[in-house]
Amino acid sequence: MTVANFGADALDGFWLDADATAYSPATRMRYLKLIDRLCRHLVDIGIRDANPASDLVRGQHWPTEDPDALFLPEDVDQRLQEFVQPHSADSPETLQRRAIVALFLGAGVTASEGRTARFEDLHPNAAPPYLHVPARPPKISRTIHLEPFAIAPLSAWHAVRHDWPVAGDLLFTLKRTGTPITDMSLGKIVREASASIGQDSEDMSPRILRNTYCRRLLIRGVAPDAVTERLGLASNRTVERIAATLDGA
């Protein structure tokens, strides 16, 4: 198929794909609106005769409620922390996958921040080790100290990435050509890691690892305002929702 001939059946198939079913309702709606705009543009410039996304857009609505605050149970969190630890026989690709999971679980960044993180943003040899997240208005820049378990996998990948002949400055890429990693690939990596520890769930995503990081800090006694700041959020709403899941909250 090409952009000139795909139909509504192709879009239906995309939403049923295992990678797409993990998207939140808001993410699905954003993607659908993007596809709709693309198709309308293709019609305007004469590449297509019709917009196969129009009926799908009319049948969907923006969610009116917050999504469930999904997170990993503490025992699963611990098993995943153990899974990301590097081994001497790991290939560069395996080290990158471990580092990706460690970044979300041990720094609480968003999928977008993980995709766009640069090699120079990670400082695993600093005291303490940290990740610099550049400003992306309306978010300001922030420094995130890495959780102890995340230092080894991120340090191992940082060393390999330093010597690996990869084009560009991105920390994580799909290929040595420097192709940026995609949200779908990130979701697949997180689900494969989850399956490796016996936690098979269709809902696994970078967002769940970020929520788990948030909840871990709250359990440790970090003040909600400080957790909100580490997550780069403008309000305490997300942290308050996750705090409500704690015993005795």
User: How much of the chain exceeds pLDDT 90, in percent?
Assistant: 63
Write down the pTM of the prediction: 0.79
How many CB atoms are closer than 10 A to CB 57?
A: 17
Mind listing the pLDDT tens digit for each residue in 148-190?
999 999 999 999 998 888 888 999 998 777 888 988 899 999 9
What whole-number distance in Å separates Cα of residue 121 and Cα of residue 96?
A: 16
Q: Which residues pair with 142 in a beta bridge?
A: 133
Q: Cα 113 from chain centroid?
A: 8
pLDDT at 111 exceeding the cut of 80: yes
Mind listing the pLDDT tens digit for each residue in 209-243?
999 999 999 999 999 999 999 999 988 989 999 99
Q: How far is CA 22 from CA 119, 186, 202, 229, in A?
A: 28, 12, 6, 27
Q: DSSP string spanning 73-89?
A: -HHHHHHHHHHTS--TT
Burial class (CB in 10 A: 0-12, 13-18, 19+), 40: middle
* Span 45-65, average pLDDT: 84
C-alpha torsion sign, points 142, 205, 73, 240:
positive
Mind listing the pLDDT tens digit for each residue in 116-127?
999 999 999 999
* Span 196-201, average pLDDT: 84
pLDDT at position 67 is 67
Residues 6+ apart with CB under 8 A from 45: none
Encoded tokens for 37: 């705009």
- The domain locations on the chain are 8-58, 74-243
pLDDT at position 22 is 62
What whole-number distance in Å separates Cα of residue 246 and Cα of residue 70?
A: 13
Encoded tokens for 185: 């690939």
pLDDT at 249 exceeding the cut of 60: no
pLDDT at position 14 is 78
What whole-number distance in Å separates Cα of residue 35 and Cα of residue 198?
A: 35
Encoded tokens for 208: 């769940």
Encoded tokens for 71: 């997170």
pLDDT at position 83 is 97
What is the C-alpha radius of gyration for the chain, rounded to an integer number of angstroms?
A: 20
What whole-number distance in Å separates Cα of residue 24 and Cα of residue 5?
A: 28
Q: At what angle do helices 92-107 and 74-83 cross, to 10 degrees?
A: 150
Local confidence band at 19 (pLDDT 50, 70, 90 cut-offs): low
User: How much of the chain exceeds pLDDT 70, in percent?
Assistant: 94
* Span 197-201, average pLDDT: 82
Q: Is the peptide bond before 206 cis (omega within 30 degrees of 0)?
A: no
Q: Are 41 and 224 in contact (CB under 8 A)?
A: no
* Span 6-23, average pLDDT: 76
DSSP 182: P
What whole-number distance in Å separates Cα of residue 71 and Cα of residue 106?
A: 14
Homologous superfamily (CATH) of 74-243 is Intergrase catalytic core (1.10.443.10)
Kind and range of the H or E element at 145? strand 142-145
pLDDT at position 123 is 97
Mean pLDDT of the chain: 89
* Span 8-31, average pLDDT: 76
The residue with greater pLDDT, 68 or 195, is 195
Encoded tokens for 246: 């704690």
